[in-house]
Amino acid sequence: MTLNDYIYYVILPVLAFSILLIFYRFFRGPSIVDKVIALDLLITTGIGIIAVYSIVHGRSTFMDTAMILALIAFLSTVAFSYYIEKRNRKK
């Protein structure tokens, strides 16, 4: 079993299964904060999947996308928390 087979048949299905578990929390979360956390964790897992995928395909160009995704995850979480807090202050 080579490295590519191991990654393709073991690592990527496990990561996809964890994405499914996070999606369960994303759809079912009791409050809006749970959904925001699930979205953040989805993007973080997506960065890991991109890193593994760049190993499988041997192209290091995919890492740029991971960098942009990390930036967007932080910005989206900050914006969501800012507006959630502001919405409750007005009441």
Distance CA 70, CA 47 (A): 7
Residue 63 C-beta: closest distance to another protein, Å: 4
**Under 8 Å between Cβ of 25 and 58:** no
Site pattern 28..67 for another protein (x: CB under 8 A)? --xxxxx-xxx-xx--xx-xx--xx-xx----x--xx-xx
Binding site for another protein (CB under 8 A): 3, 6-7, 11, 14-15, 17-19, 21-22, 24-25, 30-34, 36-38, 40-41, 44-45, 47-48, 51-52, 54-55, 60, 63-64, 66-67, 70-71, 73-74, 77-78, 80-82, 84-85, 88-89
